[in-house]
Amino acid sequence: MICLSVLCVPEAESRKRKGLRVGSAQWTYFWNLYWLANWRRWSQIPGFAPAPQLQVTGSVVVPTPAPPAPPAPPAPFVPPSPASATILTFNNTSGTDVYLCVSTQSGLQPCVAGSIMQDGCPSNVSQLGVVDLATNQSGSFVQWPSTSPQNGWYLWKNGHTLQVFNNMTNPYTGLNNGCLQGLVFGVNIWGANCGCNFQTPGVPVPPGDFLCNGFPDTDPTSPTYNNDTPSTYTLVPNGSTAFEPSLNLPGLQCNLAFGNNPHESYDITCVNGSNAIFSVTMTPPAAGPYFTYNVGNGSQSATTTFTTQNSWVLVNPPTVKASCDDNCIDPSAAIPGSSRAGVFPYGATVCTSNPDPNPPCTNTADPYVLNKQFCAATAGSGCNFDRQPNAGQVFGGTLAVTYTGPATPPASCP
């Protein structure tokens, strides 16, 4: 019998004494109704203990001990960047795990002749930090290859958001300034890989050629871990997309102000092709500073949340057929024919020029030499988002980059 309280037992004994013949189930039912109806009044009697929580084990009713208090959640990881720094996050909504690849500036160290590195800005991937906001775990990019400290990869799990931050201190101040200067991010491949456009199915890429199809073995238990092997090649028939932020610049080199404009900027570049769709949402601080971008011959200031996105490129390598680029015109623009804000089209180092004065894919052995550029943007003076800092070299706000999935072109040009 499952009772609502141990009071059932004396009730049964009392009934037995009086010789009543009412069925046990009926008595239990009536008694429990009576007990429930009066419970509130009885519980107000001083010293009347509330009924303990009961647990049924077979036919034995035992009290359940109070469950232990759940462990306190770990304190959120707080990157060492200053609170006023612009935050950079990466959200993977593609439905699959991918690898977030990053390249820092090309090995130029601060205070070296010709260097553009500003003080306290990471010049190799070990100086960058990553925190997975879904798990609150912090980590770092895996340097690859071991001889090139400017390239790294990080497992970017489906549905997870990463925050990438500066993990070093400015040697002149001893403080972290949050600087993320001249970084290049890609998915499953590092940027600048025009050569992959000419890849012929069935013909392997030489191992070690990381600018083409190669990608390191990411299985930490494998003897070839972090080495480039043929089985880890990534097919990128239309090149690769890159997101290029330059954030929280201190405006100082060797602790001296310099003439170069210490602004923030970012763009999505399909100069070397497109293998991924990035959607970049910028949320500025309420009081600015605000990014500006070019539309047609004019310039717009983004004072509220603003999103831009790249699209596919069809390089069509097998034969010289119609090829096309969907990155030159934004189909959702308010003004028809406007370009995608902050997006460099394929082969356009000067994003508004066609033909480009310095095409990035200049391999003379390229059998598809005509496939260098298909269109240009109509973005006035350029395809970047730019902003000047507020007083004190303060920027702020958030850049949220979402990887929505691979960029797959249609079978033929529209």
Partner 1 sequence: MRSDQHHASRRCVGPVNAKWLLLVLVGLALLCQLPCGAEFEPELSHSYLQTQFAWAMYIDSCEVNHYLNYPGSSLHPLTKVRIRYRYFPHDGRPVNWPAKTYDEFWYHDGKPVGLRRNAEINLNKNDIGVIVIGQAADHFNSISSTSDALVRLLVNLQLQRAVVGAVIVPPDQYDPLLANLERYGFSSTMKQVSGPQMKIHLRCDSGSRETYLCLH
**Binding status of residue 317 toward partner 1 by CB under 8 A:** yes
Comparison of 170 and 238: residue with beta carbon closer to partner 1: 238
Q: Which of 400, 407, 345, 314 is nearest to 98 (CA)?
A: 407
CB of 406 to partner 1, least distance (A): 5
Distance CA 79, CA 331 (A): 38
> Residue 374 corresponds to which amino acid?
F
> Residue 145 corresponds to which amino acid?
P
CB neighbours of residue 1 within 10 Å: 10
Candidates 23, 114, 202, 336; binder of partner 1 (CB under 8 A) is 202
Q: Is the dihedral of CA 337, 341, 346, 347 positive or negative?
A: positive
**Binding status of residue 405 toward partner 1 by CB under 8 A:** yes
**Binding status of residue 411 toward partner 1 by CB under 8 A:** yes
Stretch that binds partner 1, among 27-35, 91-99, 178-186, 241-249 (CB under 8 A): 91-99
Stretch that binds partner 1, among 32-40, 235-243, 284-292, 372-380 (CB under 8 A): 235-243
**Binding status of residue 260 toward partner 1 by CB under 8 A:** no
DSSP class of residue 197?
A: G
Total residues binding partner 1 (CB under 8 A)? 42
**Binding status of residue 159 toward partner 1 by CB under 8 A:** yes
Hey, which residues between 97 and 116 contact partner 1 (CB under 8 A)? 97-99
**Binding status of residue 310 toward partner 1 by CB under 8 A:** no
How far apart, in Å, do the first and last CA atoms of the chain sit?
74
Distance CA 276, CA 92 (A): 11
**Binding status of residue 272 toward partner 1 by CB under 8 A:** no
Distance CA 286, CA 364 (A): 50
Candidates 14, 93, 173, 260; binder of partner 1 (CB under 8 A) is 93
CB of 209 to partner 1, least distance (A): 13
**Binding status of residue 206 toward partner 1 by CB under 8 A:** no
Chain-centre distance of CA 350, in angstroms? Answer: 28
Candidates 106, 136, 158, 358; binder of partner 1 (CB under 8 A) is 158
Record the tokens describing residue 68, joined without a space: 């232990």
Q: Parallel, antiparallel, or unpaired: how do β-strands 264-269 and 385-387 relate? A: antiparallel
**Binding status of residue 231 toward partner 1 by CB under 8 A:** yes
CB of 318 to partner 1, least distance (A): 5
CB of 208 to partner 1, least distance (A): 15
Q: Assess contact for 275 and 189: CB atoms under 8 A.
A: yes
Q: What is the dihedral of CA 372, 375, 381, 387, to 10 degrees?
A: -80
Stretch that binds partner 1, among 20-28, 105-113, 338-346, 398-406 (CB under 8 A): 398-406
Candidates 10, 139, 230, 367; binder of partner 1 (CB under 8 A) is 230
Chain-centre distance of CA 294, in angstroms? Answer: 25
E strand or H helix that includes residue 14? helix 8-18
Can the peptide bond before residue 285 be classed as cis, meaning omega within 30 degrees of 0? no
**Binding status of residue 86 toward partner 1 by CB under 8 A:** no
Contacts to partner 1 by CB under 8 A:
93-99, 133-134, 157-161, 188, 199, 201-204, 213, 230-231, 233-235, 237-238, 316-319, 404-406, 408-414
